[in-house]
Amino acid sequence: PRHTAGLPQVLRGAHRAVRDPGMAGVEMASPRDDDPTTPLADRATQQDSHSKIMAVTGCLLAIYIYENMLRLYGHIWELSARPFWLVDSLVILLSAADTLPSNSKSIATLMRALRVVRLVLVLRKINVAKRIRRAVSSHKARFRQNGFDLDLTYITRTCIAMSLPAVGPEAAYRNPMSEVQRFFELRHAGRFLIFNLCKERAYDPELFGGRVEHIEVEDHNPPRLAQIVDFLQRAGDFMDSDAGNCIAVHCKGGKGRTGVMIAAWLLYSRFSTTAADALEWFASARTGHAATAAQGVSQPSQHRYVTYTLDMLADGGYPCPTINLTKLVIKTTPRVDAGGGCTPWVVVEEDGCVVYDGAKQGSFVRMERGQAELAFPLDLQLQGDVRIVFYEHGPKQDVRLCFLWFHTGFLDSDTVVFPKPQVDTACHDRQCKVFSDNFAVVVVAAGVPGRDSAERAASMRRILPPSPGLLERSRRMRAGYDRREDDPAQTMRSGALGPSRPTCRPPAPTPPPP
C-alpha cells in the first residue's frame, strides 16, 4: 500500500485521461498499414511510426501492470468496494494483449471501446471529487482562477484563509496538497508564510520550502492568548521583511480557528478597529458574495478571545493574575435523559492541562428536571487561560454537554455569569431541546484584582506593537477597499449577485497576482 499511496494520484489520473483518448484516437484516425487504399510509398513510414508508438505503449503498459499488481496485492480486501480497479486492470491486460502481433481486428475494436469506457469513468471520478470538495466547503468562497478550484479566500490582498492541504483520500474533499503547492509557487513564490493551526493534523514544512509555522489549537476552541500573541509577532516580523509578502492561515475547515487568528491580525495591523468589524470582514470575505449564509467564527469563546485581543492591543499587553476558583454553578437543568434530568460533572483546565477532573473525584450529583441550579464547590488556584467543560455521566459512556473559555486577566469581578449565548455547544441549541433559554454557567472566584491594582500591573505581559510600515500599508489597503478603488468586482457584486454589504465591504475574492 505504501508504494501505491506514494504515487501522485492527480498526475496519474490526468495521464490516463490524456493517454486513453489519445491512443484510441490515433488508432482510429490513422490508416492501417494493411489498408489496400494506402499508397505503397507511405506504408514503410507508417510501419516505422507504428513501431515507435508500440514501443512507447509497451513501456507505459509495463509501468501500469506493475502498479496494478501492487495495488491488487496491497488492497485486495477493497476490491468489492472499488469495481473501477477491476475495470482498470482488465483494460491494461487487454491493452497488453493488443500489443502482441495479431491479425485479429476484434481485440483492437474491443480495446478502443474499453478505453472510451475507462475515460468516462476517470472523468466521472474527477467530476465527483470536485463536487465533493464544493459540498464540503459549503458556502465558503472558492478560488477559481488559472485552473485552480480551491477552498481558499483572499481576506485581504496579503492575507489568505484556506482549509487543510490534504493528501490521500482526504484530498478528494479538501484542498489537494499538490494544488496548494502549485498555487503558492505560481502566485506567491518565495514570499509566503503558512500558519497551520490544526492540532489534529501536521505535515512536513518542507512541502512548502520550510515556510510553515505550526501552532496547535484544538478544533472548535479558541487559541490561547499566548498563542495569539505568538502568531501576531511572527506574522508581523515576516510581513515587515518584505512589503510583498503574504501570510496564509488554515485549520481543518479554514473557518473557526482560522477566523480567530485572522481577526486578531486585522486588529493588530489596524485594518479593523473593532472586534465586530474584524469578525464581520472575515465572515463576508470567507463566504463569497454569491452565498446566502456567513461562514465565519461561530463559537462564543472564539468571539471572546477576539475581544480579548482588542483589549490587549489597546493596553499594550495583557495581565495574567492568579485567582482562586471557589465554585461553579449550572443554572437550570439540561434535559438529557428520559426523565428530563442529567448527572453532570466538570473538568477544569489551565493552559491546556487538566487541573481538576470531577470523574476521578467521584463527584456525580443528580440534577432533577426543573431544578433551578447545581453548584460544584472547588478550591483551585488558576492563572491564564481556563477552560471549563461539563460532561453528562451516562450509563454506557460520558458525553460532553458544553464548555467555555476565559482568561483570568479579563475577569472584572468575583462573580461572572455566562448566559446560554456565551456558552459553547449550548448556544447552538436554539430550539431548547437540551438547554433552556435561562441556562447559564456562573463562575465564582476570589482574589480577582481590580482594574488599576498593583497585582494586575505586575502580572502584565507585553506585546510588541506593529511597525509603522505595516500600519501604513494596512491603512492604505483599507482605505482602498472602503473607496472601492481597489475592488475590481464592485460592478459584478452590485449587479447580478446583489449589492455588497453596507457595513463591511470585503475585497474581491480573487485578486490579480502580485
Please report the pLDDT score of residue 288 as a whole number. Answer: 65
Buried-exposed string 477-486: b where 16+ CB fall within 10 A, e elsewhere: bbeebeeeeb
The Cα–Cα gap between 354 and 382 comes to 11
User: Pick the catalytic residue: 246, 251, 342, 427?
Assistant: 251
**Three-state helix/strand/coil letters over 424-439:** ECHHHCCCCCCCCCCC
Average the pLDDT over each of 82-96, 175-189, 219-233 and give the range with the smallest value.
82-96
Q: What is the largest CA-CA distance in the chain?
A: 103
Q: Which of 68-72, 93-97, 478-482 has the highest mean pLDDT?
A: 478-482
The pLDDT-based confidence of 171 (bands split at 50, 70, 90) is confident
Handedness of CA 208, 258, 467, 473 (dihedral sign): positive
The Cα–Cα gap between 270 and 145 comes to 30
Told to judge if 251 belongs to the known catalytic residues of this protein, a careful annotator would answer: yes
Q: What angle do CA 498, 151, 202 make, to 5 degrees?
A: 150
Buried-exposed string 68-102: b where 16+ CB fall within 10 A, e elsewhere: beebbeeeeeeeeeeeeeeebbebbeebeebbeee
- Strands (DSSP E) contained in 289-409 are 317-318, 322-331, 344-350, 353-357, 373-383, 385-392, 399-407
CA distances from 161 to 142, 254, 282 (A): 10, 6, 9
Mean pLDDT score, 156-185: 90
The pLDDT-based confidence of 170 (bands split at 50, 70, 90) is confident
Return the SS3 of 100: coil
| Position 503 pLDDT exceeds 50 | no
Return the SS3 of 143: strand
Please report the pLDDT score of residue 373 as a whole number. Answer: 96
- The three cell numbers of residue 338 are 428520559
Average the pLDDT over each of 62-71, 258-267, 353-362, 472-481 and give the range with the smallest value.
62-71
Q: What angle do CA 426, 382, 461 make, to 5 degrees?
A: 105
Which residue from 29, 13, 31, 20 is spatially nearest to 113, judged by alpha carbons?
Answer: 20
| Position 127 pLDDT exceeds 80 | no
Instruction: Order across the sheet with 415-419: list the strands.
Output: 373-383, 322-331, 440-446, 415-419
Mean pLDDT score, 302-311: 98
Please report the pLDDT score of residue 92 as a whole number. Answer: 64
Chain-centre distance of CA 501, in angstroms? 25
* Fold of the domain spanning 318-462: Immunoglobulin-like (2.60.40)
The pLDDT-based confidence of 292 (bands split at 50, 70, 90) is very low
Q: Which of 38-42, 86-90, 98-102, 279-283 has the highest mean pLDDT?
A: 279-283
The Cα–Cα gap between 23 and 21 comes to 6
- The three cell numbers of residue 234 are 511572527
Percent of the chain past pLDDT 90, that is, above it, reads 56
Which residue from 341, 340, 390 is spatially nearest to 363, judged by alpha carbons?
Answer: 390
Got the DSSP string for 267-286?
A: HHTTS-SSHHHHHHHHHHHH
| Position 116 pLDDT exceeds 80 | no
| Position 363 pLDDT exceeds 70 | yes
| Position 391 pLDDT exceeds 70 | yes
Please report the pLDDT score of residue 499 as a whole number. Answer: 29
Handedness of CA 209, 215, 219, 222 (dihedral sign): negative
Q: Which of 136-150, 263-277, 278-292 has the highest mean pLDDT?
A: 263-277
| Position 113 pLDDT exceeds 70 | no
| Position 96 pLDDT exceeds 80 | no
Handedness of CA 332, 337, 339, 342 (dihedral sign): negative
* Fold of the domain spanning 152-316: Protein-Tyrosine Phosphatase; Chain A (3.90.190)
Which pTM does this prediction carry? 0.71
The Cα–Cα gap between 69 and 276 comes to 57
- The three cell numbers of residue 39 are 499508397
Mention every residue, 6+ apart, whose C-beta is less than 8 A from residue 403.
301, 387, 388, 389, 390, 423, 424, 425
| Position 424 pLDDT exceeds 70 | yes
| Position 407 pLDDT exceeds 70 | yes
The Cα–Cα gap between 386 and 305 comes to 12
Which helix (DSSP H) or strand (DSSP E) does residue 20 occupy?
Answer: helix 9-29
